[in-house]
Amino acid sequence: MILFFDDQLFIGFMSLKNEVLVLLIGTNEKVANQLIDDAPATRYCRSVFLLLKKENAMRVDEFVPLYRRLLAHARMEVISVQVVVLLYQKWLKYPMIVEDMEILQKKLMKNKVSEHLWLQFIRSSALDKTSRTMQKARVHLLANAINSGVLEKEELNTYGIVIDTILRITIHPDDHRILKRGFGRDSSHFYRCMFFVIRRLVKQKTDKLELAEIIRRHFSPADRTLPWSEAVKEFYEVLELKLPANYLLHLNRLEIRKMYFLYSQQPGLFSKLRFDQSEKLTLKTFVRFLFQDFMISGVFLHAFCEDTMNDHEKEWFIDELKGRNIVHSALLPTRLTKKAAHFFRCMTEDVGLSVSRSLIYAQVSTLVEDRAFALAVAFGVRNITQADFWIETISGLHRKGLQSGDVQEVMDYINEKVFVRGEVIDLKHKKLENLKREIEAWHEQLRAQTLLRRIGTRKLPDAEIPEFIILIDDSVYAIKQLKRTNELFDEGSSLSHCVYTYRKYCMRKETFIFSLRRFDLNSPEIPLVTIELDRFSRIHQAKGKFNRQATDEEKSIIRMWALENKLKYAS
């Protein structure tokens, strides 16, 4: 191996090492200046002392024995004067770098360290940015990477950035001991996965900056993408074969986990995967392409991509992926008929409902054949475990003439009577007209309870949505949250509706109540519309005085508010 230094001098590594070591053992700076021998080893040592003196003459004699100790190791050859100087510069600021180099030498098994690797190591060590424990763990990780053959000698010049990235990567504290022992245990499989991906991307001649980005994106945070296993290896190989070039680089950790979840449940989907190259590939388009020949509810796919499924819903999704009929899944919100299950499976569009509420929607739709009515019922169910009661009750009232616009008001009244006060209502024999009169009387009672707002006023949870203000003509309109129970009461009294009964749901953070108000120059603020926002940041309903629907102008203001705060409008 040949080495350049001082732009002219060539030194043969193998023949030099022993001679250099002999000279470094008995030579100090003063003696080196007196050397007149023109042999390569003598000229090398003279150059080293000369350049180190220019950097910092006071500590040369302290540094030389450390370099001699490094050089005495079997895996290190003589390095160029310039690299020695760079090491000296680093050592002056961070003396522990020599210990780090010794650790790397000991861990490298049969691999000898090239000068380029040392150069990259010295340049890349994040010496002043991390704790000592973190830095030592990174050195062990780098040693394992080299021993694993992540980079071959001819690739170091092109992909030295891998060394830089590994020496700056975030390492979980629990991994420090694992890295020191090596990759002998399952808990270290995460790093095996990293090396596998790096190796595949290097073979594809991936741009070095993109390669560094994927290492940082997928393997740097403590929140690991995937634990290593043969299945994970197969998964990455499938992605490499099926995905367009370099798409893997643009996937975040959540998307990788989601893709692997689908692969682990139904690997056959990936064997038939095909893409329309004219479309931009995102997680949603990937999922759509994946399931283009597999019948599954669009509600599931939307919730999967948005990561909004609870544990039960994920189990139902797995049942669907494995080809089981959801009718037989455990802990469904309602007794689902096969007709309703088929309706649910054929739902291709998201209707603004969770998976559980979509099942309720499907069940009601097959009973009343009125989509708007079924949607109102699904939105109106407060407690999912009470779904069967509501489906039976409201479907019966639909046969008596109940329309979708009155569903919410009727459900509020029944909920207050049955589930809050524990009363019994004979809805089977009650006429719809009589029920509506009872509801009106209930509203009157609420309006009459003036004293109630003064007793036990409580603060409600904050939705953390700022007040929205807009000027239209000569009036100022504002939408703000009602943050106390007495504000709910005042709102209900002003607009003659039952928003005060929502206080329990507000306390449980299931519902947040907002009020659209007008501020005129010569009059106090006037409540116009009460807005209910659910815990998924969706506008559930917007009602004016006596539960009237919002006007077009009011709806326009609400839409602007929703757009500014990234809310969904469910009505």
Burial class of 118 by CB neighbour count within 10 A (0 to 12, 13 to 18, 19+): buried
Alpha carbons 463 and 466: distance in angstroms, whole number: 9
**Which residue would you say has higher pLDDT here, 566 or 276?**
566
pLDDT tens, residue by residue, 404-436: 888 888 888 888 888 888 888 888 888 888 888
Tell me, what DSSP letter sits at residue 133? H
What are 492's strand-pairing partners? none
**Residues whose CB falls within 8 Å of the CB of residue 463, separated by 6 or more in sequence, listed in order:** 481, 512, 514, 533
User: Which residue is it, tokens 């680089």?
Assistant: 249
Residue 71: pLDDT over 50: yes
Alpha carbons 239 and 235: distance in angstroms, whole number: 6
**Which residue would you say has higher pLDDT here, 208 or 519?**
519
> Has this prediction a pTM greater than 0.75?
no
Percent of the chain whose pLDDT exceeds 90 = 9
Question: Worst-scoring range by mean pLDDT, 29-38, 63-72, 124-133, 429-438?
Answer: 29-38
User: Which residue is it, tokens 């959540």?
Assistant: 254
User: For residue 153, what pLDDT band results from cuts at 50, 70 and 90?
Assistant: low
User: For residue 291, what pLDDT band results from cuts at 50, 70 and 90?
Assistant: confident
**Which residue would you say has higher pLDDT here, 454 or 399?**
399
Structure tokens belonging to residue 455? 């007793």
User: Which residue is it, tokens 């001649």?
Assistant: 205
Residue 150: pLDDT over 70: yes
Burial class of 78 by CB neighbour count within 10 A (0 to 12, 13 to 18, 19+): buried
